[in-house]
Amino acid sequence: MLREIFDALPSMIFVVDQEVRIQEYNAAAEELMRSCRDSILQHRAGEILHCIHSEETPKGCGASVKCSDCVIRNSVFQALRGKRVVRRRTRMEIIQDDHKVEIYALVTVSPFSFRGTPHALLVIEDISEIAELYNMIFICPVCGKVQDDEKTWMRVESYFKNNWNVECSHGYCPDCFEREMEKIKSTSKHEKNLLIADIKSGISTGKRMQRP
């Protein structure tokens, strides 16, 4: 049953060791790799996923200059080192049918131990359609409202709530925080000057004027 569940999951799932060598994989991953089982097991993920950088050097996956920035490798190392789940988005360039293809992916790595040896569950979700949708979002440069598929303009918070069921929270970026603080300081100084003027006026007339 566990094997059937493993293969039924739509995302690509790999069991990898500390060197990101594949120990096991599910049906969704097999569909992408298009290789026989003997040529997949104990090979590094970049080589099996046909990463373009794994072919830049005879040493293969992990030896290219670009490999130091690989989200998959770094996520596996970080998860095993920190013993925690790591989740990151990335853009992968792979070779399919002798053509370079870009895939936007959500990479999730969960560490576990099997027979005393550290392993990691590597899940790769293809989010290319979502990334393409983000690239097509129309945003008004003046008010910041977003246009949805029905050509309706709405606030960004409403757009994400209606389309993705995402609740937005608010916080100041450093630049806006600084500007708002300057406004507060300026307003406080102005109010202080008015209060001083009222006090002086009250002294000159023998009574203190009240401000709301």
For 11, other C-beta atoms within 10 Å of its C-beta total 14
Which of 18-22, 108-112, 208-212 is most confident? 108-112
Gap between the Cα atoms of 35 and 45, Å rounded:
13
Angstrom CA distances, 45 to 58, 111, 145, stand at 16, 16, 42
pLDDT for the residue 207: 42
Q: Residue 97 class from Cβ within 10 Å (0-12 exposed, 13-18 middle, 19+ buried)?
A: exposed
pLDDT for the residue 79: 93
* Mean pLDDT score across all residues of the chain: 79
| CATH superfamily, domain at 2-127 | PAS domain (3.30.450.20)
pLDDT for the residue 108: 94
pLDDT for the residue 25: 92
More confident residue, 177 or 4: 4
For 123, other C-beta atoms within 10 Å of its C-beta total 20
Parse the chain into domains and list their residue ranges.
2-127, 137-164
Task: List residues bridging with 24 in a β-sheet.
Answer: 15
Q: Under 8 Å CB-to-CB from 61, ≥6 apart: which residues?
A: 20, 44, 45, 46, 47, 51, 53, 54, 67
Gap between the Cα atoms of 61 and 38, Å rounded:
18
Farthest CA pair distance, the chain: 99
H helix or E strand, kind and range, residue 90: strand 86-96
Q: Under 8 Å CB-to-CB from 54, ≥6 apart: which residues?
A: 44, 46, 47, 60, 61, 62, 64, 67
More confident residue, 81 or 35: 81
Question: Tokens 């003046």 — which residue?
Answer: 142
pLDDT for the residue 196: 54
Secondary structure (3-state) at 111: strand
**Proportion of the chain above pLDDT 90, given as a percent:** 21
Secondary structure (3-state) at 143: coil
Global pTM exceeds 0.85: no
152-206 pLDDT tens trace: 898 888 877 776 667 877 777 888 888 877 776 776 666 656 645 654 554 444 4
Q: How far is CA 209 from the centre of its chain?
A: 58
68, pLDDT greater than 70: yes
